[in-house]
Amino acid sequence: MMEYVNAFVSMLNGMSPYLLLGFLIAGVLHAFVPSSIYSRYLAGTGLRSVSMAALFGIPLPLCSCGVLPTAVALRRSGASRAASTSFLIATPQTGVDSIAATYSMMGLPFAILRPVAALVTSLIGGLAVGHWERKGVLDDVRDDANYEFSELPKGLWNKIIETLKYGFFDMMQSIGRWLLIGLVVATLITVLLPDDFFSTYARWPLLNMFIIVLVAVPMYVCATGSIPIAAALMLKGMTPGCALVLLMAGPAANLASMFVVNKAFGRKATIIYLLSIIGGAMGFGVLVDYWPGLREVFVSALPCHVMHHHMAVSWLNTVCSIALLGMIIVALVSKYWNSYQIKHNKTTAMKEFKVKGMMCAHCKANVEKGLAALPGVEKVTVDLAKGTALVEGTVPDKLVIDCIEDLGYQYEA
C-alpha cells in the first residue's frame, strides 16, 4: 500500500507548483483579456486569421468540451470556419497549465514540442478548411443563434477576485476530477506494470501509435490529466512518439466534440478536423521516434526529470501539493453540494432538460447564459454533476431544446 501512496505523492509533488502557476495564469487570461478580441481578428480564411486563431487558443486552458461553445461563439461572432477550426484543434491540446505540468513531469523537450505540434496541426486543419470554404463547397449549417461573450469584471480589485476564483475554483471544478483520475491511473501503471513492459513492443511504434489513436480519440481526457499517464507509460518503455500521440490526440477530440463540430461546422469540416488531429499526432510521433537522435533526447529527459523529484522534494512542493488537493476537494464538494441543493429546491414550476456533453464549468456557464436569454425564461439552474438544466417560465420546450443544441450540446429526451 505504501508503494502506491509514495508513487502518487511523488507525482503530485512534481506537478503541483507548476499546476498552481498555470492555474493562476489561466485566471489572469480569463479576467484581464477581453474574449471579444478573439473574434476581431479571425474573420478571414487565410494564413493570418488561421494563425491568429491558433496563437489565441494555445495558451487558453480549455478542454475539448469547454472549447466547443467558445469556438461556436467565435463562429457566430464573425470568425470564419477556417479560423474557428484552427482554434478548435489548437486549444484543447495544450494550455498554460498543461505546458507547465508537462515540463514538471516530462521535461523541457515535451514542454516545447506540445505547443509547437498544436500550432502546426491547427494551421494545417484551418488552412484546409479555409481552402474549401473559399471554394464554397463546405456543408451549409445553421448559423443563426445569438451568442455573446461574457463581459469582463470592471475594476482592478474585481478582476483580481475573478482571477483567483476562475483559476483556483472554476478550473478545479472543470479538470480537478480528471487530474486526480490521471494521477491515480499513472500511479497504478507505475507500480503494477513491469519496467520493461512496452520495450517488448518498441520495434512496432507505428502500430502502437495507431492503437493509441483508436483508444484516445473517442474518449474524453484533458490536456493536464493525460500528462501523468503518458509519463508513467514512458517509464515502462513506451516510446516518446507514442506518448506524444496520446498527449495530442486524447485531449483534442472526443465523441461529443465530433458531434458538435459536425453540427456547427458541417460534415466536411469535421472530416478535415479529425484528419488534422490524427495525421498531426501520428506525424509528430513518427518524427520523434524516427528522427536520428531525437528519441534519445526525449527518453533521457524524462527519467532524469522524474528522478529529480524523487530525490529533492522541498517544503514548497509539499505546501503546493496540500494546497492543490485542498482546492480540488473544496471545488468538487461544492459541485456536488450544489447538485444536492438543486435537487431539494426544485419546484413543480421547473422543467428539467437532460443536457449531454456538459463536462466543465465553461459548459455550465454557457448553457445557463444561453437559456437565460430566451424570451419567457424566469430562472435557469444548471446541475453540472447530473447534466440537467432546470428552466422556470413560459418558454416553449422546443425553444429550450433548440437553444441547447445551438449552443453545441445534445438534448436527451
**In a shared domain, residues 359 and 223:** no
Q: Taking a C-beta distance cutoff of 8 angstroms, is the pair 411, 367 a contact?
A: no
With respect to residue 167, please indicate whether it lies within any of the assigned structural domains: yes
Which of residues 325, 358, 377 is at a domain's end? 325
Percentage of the chain surpassing pLDDT 90? 6
Res. 44: pLDDT tops 80 = no
**In a shared domain, residues 368 and 297:** no
**pLDDT tens across 187-222, in order?**
787 777 665 665 566 667 788 888 888 877 776 667
**pLDDT tens across 337-355, in order?**
877 777 776 666 788 888 8
Residue span of the structural domain in which 103 resides:
2-325
Q: How many domains would you assign to the chain?
A: 2
Write down the pLDDT at residue 339.
74
**In a shared domain, residues 305 and 357:** no
Q: Which residues pair with 18 in a beta bridge?
A: none
* Beta strand 350-356 pairing with 388-393: antiparallel
**In a shared domain, residues 39 and 106:** yes
**In a shared domain, residues 290 and 398:** no
Enter the C-alpha cell of residue 333: 464538494
Which of residues 325, 360, 393 is at a domain's end? 325
Write down the pLDDT at residue 158.
87
With respect to residue 312, please indicate whether it lies within any of the assigned structural domains: yes
Name the phi and psi angles at 377, rounded to 5.
-85, 125
Helix (H) or strand (E) holding 407: none
Percentage of the chain surpassing pLDDT 70? 78
At 352, which CATH number?
Answer: 3.30.70.100
Write down the pLDDT at residue 40.
67
**In a shared domain, residues 243 and 165:** yes
Res. 88: pLDDT tops 70 = yes
Q: Taking a C-beta distance cutoff of 8 angstroms, is the pair 186, 232 a contact?
A: yes
**In a shared domain, residues 233 and 102:** yes
d(C-alpha 144, C-alpha 68), whole Å = 17
With respect to residue 401, please indicate whether it lies within any of the assigned structural domains: yes
**In a shared domain, residues 287 and 378:** no
Helix (H) or strand (E) holding 390: strand 388-393
**In a shared domain, residues 314 and 360:** no
Enter the C-alpha cell of residue 129: 478548411
Q: Specify the range with the lowest mean pLDDT, choosing from 58-67, 176-185, 247-256, 285-294.
A: 58-67
**In a shared domain, residues 261 and 378:** no
With respect to residue 308, please indicate whether it lies within any of the assigned structural domains: yes
With respect to residue 259, please indicate whether it lies within any of the assigned structural domains: yes
